[in-house]
Amino acid sequence: MGRLGRRGWAAIAIACLGAVVGSGLAWLLFVGVPWWWASGGSSPTVATEQNMPPEPERKIKARLFYVTEDGRGLTPVEHEVPYGADVVTQARAILEAQIAPPSEPLVSAIPAGTKLRAVFVTGSAAYVDLSGEVVTGHPGGSLDEQLTTYSVVSAITANLPAVSAVQILVDGKEVDSLAGHVDLRQPLPAMPDWVR
Amino acid sequence: MTAGSLCRPRAALLTGLALVLLVSAVGQLGSQGAPPVGLTVLSRDGRRTLAVSSVADQEFVALDEVAALFHLSVREESGAMTVSYKGRTIVLTTDQTIASVAGRMISLPARPVRSGGRLLVPVEFISRAVASIYDARVDLRRAARLVVVGDLRVPRVSITVDSLPTGTRLVIDLTPPTAPTLSQEGDHLTLRFDADALDVVLPPVQPQGFLQGLRRIDAVAIGIDLGPRYGSYRSSTENLDARTHLTLDLLPAPSEITATPPPAPAPPLALDLPAFGQSTSTLRTVTIDAGHGGPDTGATGSTGLREKQLTLAVARRLKTLLENRLGLRVLMTRDEDRAVSFDNRTALSNNNKADLFLSLHANTSLKPAASGASVLISAFPDEAEVRRTLTPVTVPVFGGGLRDIEIVAWNQAQIRFVERSDLLANMIVESFRGRVPLDTRPLARAPLRVLASANMPAVLVELGYLSNREQETQLATDDFQTTIVQALVDALVRFRDARSAGDSGDR
C-alpha cells in the first residue's frame, strides 16, 4: 500500500472515474435512451404522468363481477380502483379489488384467502398468477368453478379493451383446471353468457 | 443319413414306438411329468404330427423327422451335422448351442442331444434355423402346439369367460381379423371361422348354468356346450385395428328376463361383420367416467357425501344396466377410489373406440338454494378458427383405396363431435324431465378439460347440487340413483335409435 506513489493513486482514481462514466454512458445508451424514446414516442400522456408528482387519490371506475342472486351467473358492480399508468399496473389494481372480500350482500366466486401473485400481459392475452388458495379453498362444483374463472376473465376483459383473453396460473404454474372441470390450458376469452 | 417319409403308416408307427421308448428312456434321465404333446405341422399338403420329447424342461424334436417334413438332407461329417435345403445350409454340432444358418450364427436354448441312435434338436431349431433357409414361411406357435408352414390363415384365438348378473359372457378375439359364423345345433353352439386352422388354447371352464364347457369340433370350429339355464344368445362383432372382437352372451330363456328380449337365434347365422376399415354405425361401446377419485375428492356436501363416491356409485349402477339391458360393452375410467388423469380418461375411451363418453359429476353453488341436474358439452375458445382449418387430407388405406380424413389436434378432438354431443345432451335433458329435477339452465357449454380429447360424442352430466342439503340427501338414496340411471339409459336408447335410423354415423 505504502509503496503506491502519488502517480499510482492518480491512475486508480482515473480508472475508477472512467468506469463510472463508462457505465453511466452505457446505461444512458442501452436503457435510458430507449426508455425515453419508447415512452416519449408511443404514449406522450404517460410520459407526462411520469414527470408530474404522483396523485395518491387518482382513481378510475372499474366493473367487478359477483355472484347473482340465484347463484348461476355474474353481475357487474362498479367499483373505484386505483389508476394504473400502464396496462399491467391497471390490471393488477383491478384484480386486487376483484379478489378482495366484498362487502355484504355481494358474494365473490373467488375463494377467500386467494392472493394475486403476478400479472403478465403479452399481446392481447393476460396471465393472472393466483395463490394456491384458489384451488384448496374451492367448493369444487363445475358451476362455481366457471364462476371463479369467469370472474377473473371478465374483470380483465371488461375493463381493459386491449386484453381479449385471460389465462389463470396457480402458484406460478400452468394448471389443467381449478377444480377438475374448466380447461385452463390456454387463455380464455370472456363468455358474455355468464354476465347478467 | 436320410430320413424316410412319415406319410407311410408303418414308418409312422415305428417312429411312434421309437419315441415312446425314447421318452421313457429320457424320463429316467431326469425329466418329470407327463410326456409333452406333439406339434401339429400345418401346410397346404395337410396336417402332420411331429413328436416332441422333453429333457430338463427343454423340448426336443428328432432331426430326422424334421428333415423328412421339410425335405431337408442331413449329412454328418466328423462330429458336425450339415442340414441343407436348396443350396442353403445349417451347420450344428452336439457340443455347442451355436449353429450356423446360411452363414449367420444363431443360438439355440440347448445343445443337440444324441439319444437312441438319433439326434434330437431343440424345437426352436424349427423357428430359428429351418425358417431361415426354407422357401415358405415357417411359424412356430408353441402355446397352441402348431407349426404353420406357408401362407395359411391360422388366426390366434383368445377366449375369456365372464359371468354376467344373468348369463355368461364369452369374449373372443381373433388376430388377424377373421370372420366368424355362429349356429346352434341342439345342446351346443358352433362357432366356425373362415380360416385354415385355429391357434387356440381353450380356457378351462367350470360347468355352470349357462355354459358346460368349450371344446374343439374340428380344425376351424369351436363347440360351446350349453347349460340347463341357457335360453338364447346375443352376439356382436367388431373389427378393431388388427383383430376381430366378438362378444357372445349366453342368456336365460326370454321368460326369465324382464327387460327387452334378445332376438331369437336363427341358425346358421352369419354375424353382422362390417368390412375391414369400415366404421360401425350402431352404439356398441360406452365409456362411463366417474368424476374425480383418490386424493381429488371433488365437492363435498354438508352431511359429508363426497362427489367422488357418488359418481362411482352411479357409474357402477349405470354400467350394470347398460350391459344387462342393452348388451353394450362398458368401459369404466375408474372402478375404485383412485386418481385418474384427464388424459387417461379419454385415452381409454379413444383407444377402445368407444361410441360415447359420459362423465358423471355433482355440482356446487355458493347459493344454497340452487338445485337440479344439468348436462354440459364442450366449448373451445378458438372453435370457429379450428373448424375453418379442418380440411380433409386424402390418405391411402390398408387394403387399397383412398380415404379422406380430417386432421385435428388431439387436445381438440371433441370439436368434430360437438353437434352430436349436443344432440345427446338434449336427449338426456328430455329424458330427465319429469323424473329427475333439472337446473334452471339444464344445458350449457363450457371449455371442459375432461371432454376436450374425446374422439366421440361426449357429455358431462351434473347429477345435482351437493351444496343443497335436501338434494344431497336425495342423491344418496338408492331410489334416486336408480331413477337417474334409468333416465340415462333411456336417453342412450333414443340416441342409439337416432344413430342407426337417420344418419349412417360419421365416425
Say which range, A146-150, B19-23, B404-408, B476-480, has the weakest mean pLDDT. Answer: B19-23
Stretch B229-236: mean pLDDT: 85
Residue A187 at interface with chain B, using a CB cutoff of 8 Å: yes
Where does the pLDDT of residue B208 fall: very low under 50, low under 70, confident under 90, or very high at 90 and above?
A: confident
Say yes or no: A174 contacts chain B, CB-CB below 8 A: no
Residue of B nearest to A187 (CA): B381
Which has more pLDDT, A57 or A149? Answer: A149
Strand ranges across the sheet with B188-193: B211-218, B221-226, B188-193, B180-185, B269-270
CA B283 – CA B420 distance, rounded (Å): 13
Whole-number Å distance between alpha carbons of B40 and A149: 67
Report which of A88, A97, A114, A101 is spatially closest to residue A61, judged by C-alpha positions.
A97
Nearest Cα of chain A lies from the Cα of B304 at a distance, in angstroms, of: 13
Q: What is the distance in angstroms between the Cα of A57 and the nearest Cα belonging to chain B?
A: 35
Residue B351, CA atoms < 13 Å, CB-side half-sphere: 8
Is A111 an interface residue toward B (CB < 8 Å)? Answer: no
Average pLDDT over residues A62-77: 95
Q: Tell me, what's the pLDDT at A3?
A: 57
Q: Is A123 on the interface with B (CB under 8 A)?
A: no
C-alpha cell at B24: 421313457
Asked whether the predicted pLDDT for residue B131 surpasses 70, the reply is yes
User: How many H helices and E strands in chain B?
Assistant: 10, 31
Q: Is the dihedral of CA B188, B192, B197, B198 positive or negative?
A: negative
Report yes or no: B473 and B461 within 8 Å, Cβ to Cβ. no
pLDDT value of residue B466 = 97
For chain B, the C-alpha Rg in angstroms (whole number) is 30
Nearest to A180 among B291, B366, B441 (CB): B291
Query: What integer best gives the mean pLDDT of chain A?
Result: 85
Q: B345 at the A interface (CB within 8 A)?
A: no
Could you tell me if B369 lies within 8 Å of chain A, comparing CB atoms? yes
Give strand ranges (E) for B346-410.
356-363, 373-378, 392-396, 402-406
Taking every pair of Cα atoms in chain B, the longest distance, rounded to a whole number of angstroms, is: 97
What is the reported pLDDT for B266? 41
pLDDT for B153 equals 85
Query: Exposed (0-12), middle (13-18) or buried (19+): which is B146, by Cβ within 10 Å?
Result: buried
- B286, B330 contact by CB (below 8 A): yes
Could you give the percent of chain A with pLDDT greater than 70? 77
Chain A contacts of B360, Cβ < 8 Å? none
Interface test with A, best of B363, B412, B461, B466 (most A CBs within 10 A): B363
Taking residues A1-14, report their average pLDDT. 66
Which of the given ranges, B11-20, B28-37, B208-217, B455-464, has the highest pLDDT on average? B455-464
In this prediction, residue B37 has a pLDDT band, given cuts at 50, 70 and 90, of confident
- Nearest residue on chain A to B306, judged by CA atoms? A140
Region B10-26 average pLDDT: 51
Sign of CA dihedral B494, B500, B503, B504: positive
Whether the per-residue pLDDT at A62 is higher than 50: the answer is: yes
Q: What pLDDT is recorded for position B280?
A: 42
Chain B residue numbers with beta carbons less than 8 Å from the beta carbon of A104 are: none
pLDDT digits (tens, 9 = 90+) for A109-156: 999 999 999 999 999 999 999 999 999 999 999 999 999 999 999 999
Q: What is the mean pLDDT of chain B?
A: 83
* Higher pLDDT pick, B483 / B394: B483
Q: Quick check: A166 pLDDT over 90?
A: yes
Residue type, A49: E
Q: Cα separation of B244 and B153, whole Å?
A: 14
Give yes or no for a contact between B83 and B63, defined as CB atoms under 8 angstroms apart.
yes
Instruction: Output the pTM of the full model.
Output: 0.55
- The CA angle A175-A176-A178, to the nearest 5 degrees, is 75
**Do A70 and B367 touch, CB atoms closer than 8 A?**
yes
Query: Phi, psi at residue B404, to the nearest 5°?
Result: -90, 130
Cβ of A141 and B292 within 8 Å? no
Confidence grade of residue B13 (pLDDT, cut at 50, 70, 90): low
- Contact criterion met (CB below 8 Å) for A128 and A167: yes
The secondary element (H helix, E strand) that includes residue B496 is helix B478-501
* Cβ–Cβ < 8 Å for A84, A117: no
The angle formed by the CA atoms of residues B361, B464 and B326, to the nearest 5 degrees, is 65
B383 reaches A (C-beta below 8 A): no
CB atoms within 10 A of CB B313: 18
pLDDT score, position A38: 53
Contact between B456 and B355 under an 8 Å Cβ cutoff? The reply is yes
Give residue B118's region: left, alpha or beta (phi > 0; psi -120 to 50): beta
Helix H or strand E encompassing B483: helix B478-501
Q: Any CB–CB contact under 8 A between A151 and chain B?
A: no
pLDDT reading at B426 higher than 90: yes
Amino acid sitting at position B387: R
Give the pLDDT confidence score for residue B244 in this predicted structure. Answer: 86
B167-175 vs B53-55, strand pairing mode: unpaired
The pLDDT of residue B14? 53
Of A118, A189, A94, the residue nearest A149 (C-alpha): A189
Question: Cα(B158)–Cα(B171) distance, rounded to whole angstroms?
Answer: 8
What is the spatial distance between Cα A158 and Cα A153, in angstroms, rounded to a whole number? 8
Distance in angstroms (rounded) separating the CA atoms of residues B186 and B189: 8
DSSP B296: B
Q: Decide if A71 and B365 are in contact by the 8 Å CB cutoff.
A: yes
Domain residues of chain A, as ranges? Answer: 1-52, 59-194
Residue A14 reports pLDDT greater than 80: no
